[in-house]
Homo-oligomer: A and B are copies of this chain.
């Protein structure tokens, strides 16, 4: 095993949801979690830098795993031939958005389970939420439940009777709920990045920017990332 034991592993994308999730894991564990980020050929590599900045704030170790999703393409987020779409009002208003990356959360969770087992972590936290992202099949409770079964039967830890737990504490939360919770927890929301496009500043013209803006508005709060 490389590296010390950790209490929790958090999938950290540098976005709003995963940053609030990291704050929750820190609160629940009373110690800095291990943040797991992926370099998967995404357009918006700025998210890795933001995730690193969030980790620095919490004194959390960041493990960046590279895996090249461009090798198979199929998403507007990784394939330069597919346009990032204009906002539709809600990600869930189209059957499945072109920003869907085939099996992305399965891949991220599978790696997280491996890391959690190797580092002795009790649980993996991920910031999926079903309310705003019901267009993505791998952001739903039924998906998380299916992966819990994988952890139970597919790992040493599961066979030994204490499977790595998979926690999706925001899965029933609205974006406004997440904004409020993050603010209460003192999470560094000003460091987070949601935009599907490259920086230096959020485009305010994609679905992710739109959802974020509506979340802050509904929470009655200003987005600190836009004030920086």
User: Using a CB–CB distance below 8 Å, which chain A residues touch chain B?
Assistant: 1-3, 63, 65-74, 79, 96, 100-107, 109-111, 113-115, 117-119, 137-138, 140, 142-143, 146-147, 149-150, 152-156, 158-159
Q: 4 closest Cβ contacts across the A-B interface?
A: A103-B114, A74-B118, A106-B110, A2-B73
- Among residues of B, the one whose C-beta sits closest to the C-beta of A159 is B137
How far, in whole Å, are A115 and B73 apart by their CA atoms in the complex?
8
**With contacts A102-B155, A118-B102, A137-B154 known, is A67 near B66, CB below 8 A?**
yes
Which of A73, A96, A106, A137 has most chain B Cβ within 10 Å? A106
Contact in complex: B117, A102 (CB < 8 Å): yes
Q: Which of B114, B137, B154 contacts A72 (CB 8 A)?
A: B114
Q: Could you say which residues of chain B place their CB within 8 Å of the CB of A69?
A: 114
Contact in complex: A114, B107 (CB < 8 Å): yes
- Among residues of B, the one whose C-beta sits closest to the C-beta of A143 is B154
Q: Could you say which residues of chain B place their CB within 8 Å of the CB of A152?
A: 146
- Among residues of B, the one whose C-beta sits closest to the C-beta of A74 is B118
How far, in whole Å, are A38 and B83 apart by their CA atoms in the complex?
29
Contact in complex: B117, A74 (CB < 8 Å): yes
Q: Which of B65, B70, B137, B154 contacts A155 (CB 8 A)?
A: B137
Contact in complex: B113, A2 (CB < 8 Å): no
Contact in complex: A118, B72 (CB < 8 Å): yes
Contact in complex: A103, B2 (CB < 8 Å): no
Q: Which of B71, B105, B156, B158 contacts A154 (CB 8 A)?
A: B105
